[in-house]
Amino acid sequence: MRPLLQCAFTPPSLEPNFSLKTMNISPEQRDHAHNLLDFIDASPSPWHAVASLERRLEKHGYAPLAESEAWTLEPGGKYYAVRGGSSLIAFRVGHDSPAECGFRIVGAHTDSPGLRLKPKAPHAAEGMLRLGVEVYGGPILATFTDRDLSLAGRVHLRAESGLAARLLRFEQPLLRLPNLAIHMNRTVNEEGLKLNKQTELPLLLAGLEEAIEPKDAFLNLLAERAGCAPGDLLSFELNVYDTQPGSFWGPRGEFVADGQIDNLSSCHAGLAGLLETEAGGHTAVAAFFDHEEVGSESHKGADGSFLGDVLERIAHAAGLEPPAYKQALARSFLVSADAAHAHHPNFPQAYEPLHAVKVNGGPAVKINANQRYATDGLAEARFLALCEQAGVPCQTYVHRTDLGCGSTIGPLTSARLGLSTVDCGCPMWAMHSARESAGVLDQSWFAAVLKVFFAAETLP
């Protein structure tokens, strides 16, 4: 059980006119945050994230569909499809035709930036077995130093029927990237920690005896974990993750810290929205994509065909001809859910001062004139109205004009399918750090808005 710091909280003696901000966190909001941290901790790679989503969907009666098979869909039916093991689209078929009601879609991403093992990762270096890594997306590399790292992902094995995919996770700290001592890196505090990605990122795994081949030692370790013979291990896709579980912090436990809050928190909120609402006239869709952090251009990414393929098949099952499918898309709305940059009081110069968003101030709608976010005026107004209906505060985020703005799945999906889209998400600190932070209240507020989105008979 995670310690709830609020239980042990003793108010410090403060100036008479000063009080800590009142932060009323209900038991339901606390439970929601616990549930989020459990979800993240069970999902140390995008393949595990999809397995976590599947477990929760199946508990709620969602049936798996194979893309390689014909689909028979019933009105009110609940289904999901997985592509490539790390992207998943779940949907609940509406009672009315999509041509009349459109699709209501929440999109989020299952991947997080970090380090991935190279295929020929193990090598010897001065009596140590090191693992070579590639940098996946844009992590803050320095945050991976001195942490209790381990490996999680997917392996492919030789099997009687051909090939078998298996999830693989080492629970214990297995690897480390120790810092160089300050005595050899005297300017680290003035210049920041700079790591050469090729030579200074390999992770230390073990001491190595000279007679032992690094590749054999590592494959034996993997095979033992996968429960197969080393010779049957054909490939591995392994993510480096931080084994420290999620925690609450702050005098009232009003903040959470964990890896991968960007963007498993949005997957969690989107799934809660879908699972905690009932079928209505419209078809509800929750789409979780891999590869957002590397641009989404892949067969299972948001810029691939996955969402369009699934929507087309739902439309086909409803008997829609191609023009009616286009009609359905024109009546649809996408909530592209991805974390937002919260204001950091130590770095006020990094923010657009009139659009700074606060942790525990409510979800933020993200706007960018250059379409790095897909939100337009209608989508913004609609999201504000949804927040109002949910009784949730809403904030507006705009990036500084003199800084390049990041992007997300919203603009790509919106452009590919012609969907009206809002980009939005919960404020968080330290995006792309190995250990990110966010607010407890924002998490359940965001889920509440997505519930209203999926439950409302008509959209504002």
Q: To the nearest whole angstrom, how small is the minimum distance from the Cβ of residue 409 to Zn ion?
A: 8
Q: To the nearest whole angstrom, how small is the minimum distance from the Cβ of residue 341 to Zn ion?
A: 11
- Collect all residues with Cβ–Cβ distance below 8 Å to 382 and sequence separation of at least 6: 333, 422, 459, 460
Q: Name residues contacting Zn ion, limited to 324-383 (CB under 5 A).
A: 338
Q: With CB under 5 A as the contact rule, which of the stretches 174-182, 210-218, 259-267, 450-458 interacts with Zn ion?
A: 259-267
Considering the complex, state which of residue 98 and residue 114 has its C-beta at the smaller distance from Zn ion: 114
Could you give the C-alpha distances from 177 to 56, 149, 200, 428, 435, in angstroms and in order? 34, 8, 9, 25, 15
Binds Zn ion (CB under 5 A): choice among 111, 254, 262, 442:
262
Gap between the Cα atoms of 10 and 429, Å rounded: 26
CB atoms within 10 A of CB 181: 8
Determine if 29 is a binding residue for Zn ion (CB under 5 A): no
Considering the complex, state which of residue 242 and residue 262 has its C-beta at the smaller distance from Zn ion: 262
Q: With CB under 5 A as the contact rule, which of the stretches 263-271, 326-334, 356-364, 367-375 interacts with Zn ion?
A: 263-271
Q: To the nearest whole angstrom, how small is the minimum distance from the Cβ of residue 146 to Zn ion?
A: 25
Cross-strand bridge partners of residue 337: 424
Dihedral in degrees, nearest 10, Cα atoms 93, 96, 102, 105: -30
Gap between the Cα atoms of 381 and 116, Å rounded: 40
Determine if 290 is a binding residue for Zn ion (CB under 5 A): no
Considering the complex, state which of residue 237 and residue 338 has its C-beta at the smaller distance from Zn ion: 338
Residue with smallest beta-carbon separation from Zn ion: 263
Locate 266 and state its tokens.
């949005």
Binds Zn ion (CB under 5 A): choice among 110, 260, 263, 443:
263
Considering the complex, state which of residue 218 and residue 442 has its C-beta at the smaller distance from Zn ion: 442
Query: How many residues make contact with Zn ion (CB under 5 A)?
Result: 3
Determine if 436 is a binding residue for Zn ion (CB under 5 A): no
Q: To the nearest whole angstrom, how small is the minimum distance from the Cβ of residue 316 to Zn ion?
A: 32
Dihedral in degrees, nearest 10, Cα atoms 81, 84, 86, 87: -40
Q: To the nearest whole angstrom, how small is the minimum distance from the Cβ of residue 116 to Zn ion?
A: 17
* SS3 assignment, position 83: strand
Q: To the nearest whole angstrom, how small is the minimum distance from the Cβ of residue 38 to Zn ion?
A: 20
Gap between the Cα atoms of 194 and 363, Å rounded: 33
Helix, strand, coil percentages (3-state) for the chain, rounded to 5, are: 30, 25, 40
Gap between the Cα atoms of 322 and 318, Å rounded: 12
Q: To the nearest whole angstrom, how small is the minimum distance from the Cβ of residue 191 to Zn ion?
A: 28
Question: What is the contact surface with Zn ion in residues (CB under 5 A)?
Answer: 262-263, 338
